[in-house]
């Protein structure tokens, strides 16, 4: 991919970067202004679940834009927002049927943690304010969601500004923080929640916040059997809510509408945060869905003093409705499950051929590859080699997008996410694997000469 952007232009984000200039998108493909055709193997930031330029979503946007784009939620109700609330309730289970709309993932997590606090306060349980989350994890960039996040390069610099939150170990089985292995570990990562609650005084804890299948910070970890039953029992016994951060995993990404549904009956979210795939890259959109009892308890006690100007705007809501219609109409959740099996098998084959891929994990169309200098000991590469970034650059040279992150909460190791749109065709998946194969081969060879 040619680098055609400006380094000293009018915009700035995380770092100086000389990025290719995007021109247009269609399906799984993005074109640059200099004519390269790039395969979107990670749906941007695991956002573009329906691919680019889906005609049904574009049509819904046009129709709604011509009618009304904005009507403020304290002044008007609007049809698309109500319809989106009904549709989300129809997709979910366990009484998750009341929705608070927002405009992104960080906003969704902020809303969820404030809702948990408000719920306990409304019941007269003012002492509960702490959030327990996991390390590593990613929950967003705003200070509340960041305080719950377990990813040190993003959190350390802002630590003095944040309310200190508390972390238990994420189920990173390939690198068990307790040095154990499943099943003889007896789910030490799940029972860690009990120990942490006892140490904090459980009567001060409002909620346990978790990504049911890991996202960028862990490289798509899937918890072992029994994990959800254990954390659900502990949370219930101590009267704390569970918040499932499905910002990345929701809207069909893992082969179920929400990832918790893979463990229906054991995983029991009180509050669910959705975003990314819900707007699918067509509009900034997020949602917090909870049980009627939680919403009513808060509202009956007075109010939920929280909100965002763009929350529930009719244009974004109409996009959400269209996205859910396409997911349903095209059977894309089942397609994610089916194609995910093929993608997982293909990635495992690549790992067999490229030994520096130490672990392949994931579900549906959310997969992580972890890189190791020594597969036998699982020793990571030296930090400065920035291996995930190198592999991502090699993939970009093949006109393939993948998504890199450091491991160990940002402190050691490397992984990438492979998460193509749910509309990916079989031949496009083959093309993705072929390009990744070449990128892995070149990266591995280059590392052999420097590592
Ligand atoms: C699990 C999870 N939660 C929250 C967020 C924050 O979402 P946003 O970037 O839309 O604010 C992300 C984004 O990557 C995420 O993956």
**Are 156 and 221 in a shared domain?**
yes
**Which of 329, 355, 389 corresponds to the end of one domain?**
329
**Are 216 and 88 in a shared domain?**
yes
Residue 447 Cα to ligand 1 midpoint, Å, equals: 31
Q: What is the CATH number of the domain that holds 162?
A: 3.40.640.10
Instruction: Give 376: exposed, middle or buried? Use CB within 10 Å, 0-12, 13-18, 19+.
Output: exposed
Structural domain contains residue 442: yes
8 strand-pairing partners: none
Residue 278 Cα to ligand 1 midpoint, Å, equals: 12
Cα distance between residue 66 and residue 59, in whole Å: 11
Residue 434 Cα to ligand 1 midpoint, Å, equals: 29
Q: How many domains does the chain have?
A: 2
Q: Dihedral sign, CA of 19, 21, 25, 30? A: negative
Helix%, strand%, coil% for the chain, nearest 5? 45, 20, 40
Contact 416, 451 (CB under 8 A): no
Structural domain contains residue 137: yes
Closest-lying ligand 1 atom to the alpha carbon of residue 140? 6
Q: What is the DSSP letter of 69?
A: S
Residue 44 Cα to ligand 1 midpoint, Å, equals: 12
**Are 215 and 337 in a shared domain?**
no
**Are 275 and 400 in a shared domain?**
no
* End-to-end C-alpha distance for the chain, whole angstroms: 26
Q: In which order are the strands placed within the sheet that holds 403-406?
A: 357-363, 366-371, 414-418, 403-406
**Are 125 and 238 in a shared domain?**
yes
- Nearest CA to 71 out of 105, 101, 104 is that of 101
pLDDT of residue 18: 85
Structural domain contains residue 16: no
**Which of 299, 329, 359 corresponds to the end of one domain?**
329
Structural domain contains residue 318: yes
pLDDT digits (tens, 9 = 90+) for 171-201: 999 999 999 999 999 999 999 999 999 999 9
**Are 356 and 300 in a shared domain?**
no
**Are 74 and 184 in a shared domain?**
yes
Contact 428, 344 (CB under 8 A): no
Contact 273, 288 (CB under 8 A): yes
**Which of 300, 329, 358 corresponds to the end of one domain?**
329
pLDDT of residue 244: 99
**Are 362 and 217 in a shared domain?**
no
Number of other CB atoms surrounding residue 18 within 10 Å? 12
pLDDT of residue 2: 46
Structural domain contains residue 15: no
**Are 101 and 40 in a shared domain?**
no
**What is the domain extent for residue 93?**
57-329
**Are 115 and 134 in a shared domain?**
yes
**Are 123 and 172 in a shared domain?**
yes
Q: Dihedral sign, CA of 114, 195, 173, 388? A: positive
Closest-lying ligand 1 atom to the alpha carbon of residue 284? 10
Rounded CA Rg of the chain: 22
pLDDT of residue 450: 87
pLDDT digits (tens, 9 = 90+) for 93-150: 999 999 999 999 999 999 999 999 999 999 999 999 999 999 999 999 999 999 999 9
pLDDT of residue 447: 97
Q: What is the CATH number of the domain that holds 351?
A: 3.90.1150.10
pLDDT of residue 384: 97
pLDDT digits (tens, 9 = 90+) for 348-381: 999 999 999 999 999 999 999 999 999 999 999 9
Closest-lying ligand 1 atom to the alpha carbon of residue 286? 10
Cα distance between residue 325 and residue 382, in whole Å: 46
Q: Is the bond into 72 cis (omega within 30 degrees of 0)?
A: no
Structural domain contains residue 364: yes
Specify the residue with its C-alpha closest to ligand 1, atom 3: 139
Residue 104 Cα to ligand 1 midpoint, Å, equals: 8
* Low-confidence residues of the chain: pLDDT under 70: 1-7, 451
366-371 and 414-418 strand pairing: antiparallel
Structural domain contains residue 437: yes
**Angle 307-312-317 from CA coordinates, rounded to 5°:** 155
Instruction: Give 40: exposed, middle or buried? Use CB within 10 Å, 0-12, 13-18, 19+.
Output: buried
**Are 366 and 318 in a shared domain?**
no
Structural domain contains residue 8: no
Q: Dihedral sign, CA of 40, 29, 255, 139? A: positive
Closest-lying ligand 1 atom to the alpha carbon of residue 246? 1
Around ligand 1, the residues with Cβ closer than 6 Å are 45, 104-106, 109, 138-141, 211, 215-216, 245, 247-248, 275
Contact 148, 165 (CB under 8 A): yes
């Amino acid at each position: 991919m040619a680098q055609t952007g400006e380094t000293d232009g009018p915009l700035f984000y995380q770092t100086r970067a000389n990025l290719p200039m995007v021109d247009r998108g269609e399906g799984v493909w993005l074109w640059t202004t200099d004519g390269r055709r790039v395969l979107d193997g990670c749906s941007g930031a695991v956002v573009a679940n329906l691919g680019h330029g889906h005609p049904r979503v574009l049509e819904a946007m046009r129709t709604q834009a011509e009618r009304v784009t904005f009507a403020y939620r304290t002044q008007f109700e609007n049809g698309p927002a109500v319809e989106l609330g009904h549709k989300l309730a129809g997709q979910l289970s366990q009484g998750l049927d009341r929705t608070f709309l927002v405009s992104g993932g960080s906003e969704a997590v902020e809303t969820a943690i404030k809702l948990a606090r408000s719920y306990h306060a409304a019941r007269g349980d003012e002492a509960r304010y702490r959030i327990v989350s996991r390390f590593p994890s990613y929950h967003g960039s705003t200070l509340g969601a960041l305080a719950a996040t377990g990813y040190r390069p993003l959190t350390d610099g802002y630590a003095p500004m944040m309310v200190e939150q508390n972390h238990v170990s994420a189920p990173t089985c390939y690198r068990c923080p307790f040095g154990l292995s499943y099943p003889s570990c007896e789910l030490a990562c799940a029972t860690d929640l009990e120990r942490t609650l006892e140490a904090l005084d459980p009567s001060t804890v409002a909620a346990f916040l978790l990504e049911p299948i890991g996202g960028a910070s862990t490289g798509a970890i899937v918890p072992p059997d029994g994990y959800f039953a254990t954390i659900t029992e502990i949370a219930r016994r101590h009267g704390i809510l569970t918040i499932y951060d499905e910002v990345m995993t929701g809207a069909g990404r893992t082969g179920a509408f929400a990832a918790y549904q893979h463990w229906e009956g054991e995983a029991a979210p009180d509050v669910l945060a959705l975003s990314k795939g819900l707007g699918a890259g067509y509009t900034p959109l997020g949602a917090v869905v909870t049980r009627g009892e939680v919403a009513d308890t808060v509202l009956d006690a007075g109010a939920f003093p929280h909100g965002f100007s763009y929350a529930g705007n009719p244009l974004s809501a109409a996009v959400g409705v269209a996205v859910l219609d396409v997911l349903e109409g095209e059977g894309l959740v089942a397609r994610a499950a089916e194609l995910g099996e093929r993608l997982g098998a293909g990635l495992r084959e690549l790992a067999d051929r490229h030994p520096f891929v130490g672990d392949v994990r994931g579900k549906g169309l959310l997969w992580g590859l972890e890189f190791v200098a020594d597969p036998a000991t699982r020793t990571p590469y030296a930090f400065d080699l920035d291996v995930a970034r190198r592999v991502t650059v090699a993939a970009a040279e093949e006109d393939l997008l993948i998504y890199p992150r450091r491991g160990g909460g940002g402190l050691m190791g490397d992984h990438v996410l492979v998460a193509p749109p749910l509309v990916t065709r079989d031949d496009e998946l083959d093309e993705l694997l072929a390009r990744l194969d070449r990128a892995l081969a070149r990266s591995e060879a280059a590392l052999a000469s420097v590592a």
